[in-house]
Structure 1
Amino acid sequence: MGNSFAFPAFRTFEIAEALYVVNQLLELAKPSEVEVDFDIRVTSADTLDRLTAMLPQADWWADRPDQDPSAPVPSSEKGDDPYASLPIHLQHWCLEPESVEAVLEAAGGEMVAARWDFNSWPPIPELRLGHTCRCAFITVSFNARSIYPDVPSSDHTLYIHAEQFHPERATWLASQVGLKILGEPQMSAL
């Protein structure tokens, strides 16, 4: 397991705008396969009802940042009740890109990190960078200001992932769709 660096490259209040930029970047990458992974912070029973109906195989764990770290954390792995454990993080992997809008609708205004995972970024000959299969991701944090759904925000941030030693890839990719890097990268576990 390694890490990628997620560079913030676009911020908007409009979900449709964020998804449009994702599609522009995917057109640039020309992937043969794309899947989307979700991490959703769920705070209400109504939202949990909608999401579990849509994602019945999702994993979850309790989100209790102030809890004693040695205390057991309720989770799907342990067979605990998610309703009794709210707020929780709900995760589901390997969904079709077409599922994004439906998942966002079911999540309502909750914080959602959606990560598009695909086979490679294109080569950049002028930077002497070849294809890379590693770190070929785009994350959009909806209603959150971090690549993880843990810092609330009223807007949505798109992140372009790149390898630790090639941050220029993210800058180049952003420039190809009319964007620029907005700040420091965040480390993301792969």
Structure 2
Amino acid sequence: MSNSLAAAVLTTTDLAEAIRAVHTLLEISDGCPEVDLEAVITSPETLARVLDVLPGLEWWSMAGPGHGSSEAGDDPAGCLPIRVYDWSRPLESAEPFIAALGSEPGALRWDLDGWPEVPEAGLEMVTQKYAYLTLTVNSRDLHQDEPSEDHTVHVHARGRTDEPAARVRWLADRIGGRFTGRTELSAL
């Protein structure tokens, strides 16, 4: 397993603006076959909405797997708060999942085929290994440890020498955001 740095390029209280930014970045990418979804769920109402759009998702109690998990066949409603994961979902799963979360924190990560070459900006093509896009909803961090009332778009890019920072700035410019220097280590 390797890591990348996820760079925050847009933080906004306007969820529609964050979703538009994600769509713009997806259009720039060299394709995106799937999305990974995760969240911390504390209320039975949110749990019901999430299970309605993503039946059979993997989860475990925030108190630890020994206190309840999908693997053990436990009832998630009796184990709240829980952390949920659903990997390799079709792209059309993203927005129903966001809507189901309501005010609960979550993250969506799009595994891209790559970031394109941008000769005029001096950027080489970035392959799939380091081409990701993450939207944190109601949270500022990738793991929902810092709940907030805003949403953050993060881009992951890796290349030679100064290209990662240049790529991040170039992508931020495409969505009207800016790279503030805030990054997080992300396991890939």
Cα deviation for residue 77 of structure 1 reads 1.7
Contact 1:123 1:132 in 2 (8 A): no
**Structure 1 residue identity aligned to 2:25:** L
Residue in 2 aligned with 1:127? 122
Distance in structure 2 (CA, Å) of the matches to 1:94 and 1:19: 19
- Of 159, 163, 173, which residue of structure 1 is paired with 2:158? 163
Contact 1:41 1:150 in 2 (8 A): no
Matched position secondary structure for 1:152: coil
How large is the RMSD of aligned CA atoms in angstroms? 2.0
Distance in structure 2 (CA, Å) of the matches to 1:89 and 1:111: 10
Distance in structure 2 (CA, Å) of the matches to 1:30 and 1:134: 13
Note closer, same or farther for the CA distance 1:86–1:122 as it changes in structure 2 (3 Å cut). same
Note closer, same or farther for the CA distance 1:121–1:128 as it changes in structure 2 (3 Å cut). closer
Distance in structure 1 (CA, Å) of the matches to 2:80 and 2:74: 11
Matched position secondary structure for 2:66: coil
Q: Percent identity?
A: 39
Residue in 2 aligned with 1:4? 4
Which residues of structure 1 form unaligned runs of 5+?
A: none
Cα deviation for residue 148 of structure 1 reads 1.5
Looking at secondary structure, tell me which structure has more helix per residue.
2
- Provide, for residues 56-88 of structure 1, a one-character-per-residue CA deviation record: whole Å limited to 9, x for no partner: 121001113xx7xxx835321222331221100
- Provide, for residues 10-38 of structure 1, a one-character-per-residue CA deviation record: whole Å limited to 9, x for no partner: 0111111011111111121241x331111
Greater mean alpha carbon deviation, residues 142-151 or residues 155-164: 155-164
State yes or no: 1:141 paired with 2:139: no
Contact 1:5 1:164 in 2 (8 A): no
Report the TM-score when normalising by structure 1: 0.87
State yes or no: 1:115 paired with 2:113: no
Residue in 2 aligned with 1:25? 25
Alignment of 1:45-124 (within 5 A): 45-64=44-63, 72-124=66-118
